[in-house]
Structure 1
């Protein structure tokens, strides 16, 4: 009985424990197993957006877009526009406590365990 009370007090003081916090910091608050696509900061700041992201949004209509709030809005706006066109909600993640090279994450609400979530430099250039 005492353990349950201690757990209840801890939860009240510290909040609900977060699963895989280091993974969530790296992937803009998302778990790796839910990620459909991840772009680096360098890819997000390119002048033109990565075109296949629109097709992925159509294929995963319940997905959500997460963008790194450390990047200038000018670079994020092209992906926000694509998300709006596809009725995909987005969140700008502004986590000052962590630094990541990930600029964009398109994530599913449930696990999909996709093997390759990153886009190579060559593939990215091919789809501009």
Structure 2
């Protein structure tokens, strides 16, 4: 084991201990990807998408914890907090002004599980109009079509 030199000791005293994978920790609200069970984006949290999937995972993983992004309004986080309370899952709100992430909620454990599919897929509604009939091109086409 290498003996720390004075510079490393001072850096650790000023900035705190070094973390593994800091970019990954910023993205996943302070935890590592290998520990994540389920991820919801901010948009999914605001639309209350993924509550059923989250509930199922909470039933399977009693030792899990829930991280909620503090940038999302309280009223959108509330159903997820209530769900965590129902399943006796510890929940924490994370507000980090230094990092930008699109993640709204994460269910994770304290050990590596390496789950491959952690994202909740949202179903997109089919568009009723195609691109040609919308926008400026669609307006001009309809204008010239009606003038003939």
TM-score normalised to the size of structure 2? 0.76
The answer for the alignment partner of 1:70 in structure 2 is 71
Bigger relative contact order (CA 8 A; separation at least 6):
1
How many residues align structurally?
123
* In structure 2, C-alpha distance between the alignment counterparts of 1:26 and 1:54, rounded to whole Å: 23
Distance 1:81 1:108, change over 3 A: same
Q: Is the 8 A contact 1:39 1:118 kept in 2?
A: yes
- The 5-angstrom pairing of residues 53-68 of structure 1 reads 53-68=54-69
Q: Identify unmatched segments of 5+ residues in structure 2.
A: 125-148
Q: Of the two, which has the highest radius of gyration?
A: 2
Distance 1:10 1:46, change over 3 A: same
* In structure 2, C-alpha distance between the alignment counterparts of 1:21 and 1:28, rounded to whole Å: 11
Q: Identify unmatched segments of 5+ residues in structure 1.
A: 124-128
RMSD (Å) for aligned C-alpha atoms: 2.0
TM-score normalised to the size of structure 1? 0.87
Q: 1:29 deviation in Å?
A: 0.8
Q: 1:13 deviation in Å?
A: 2.4
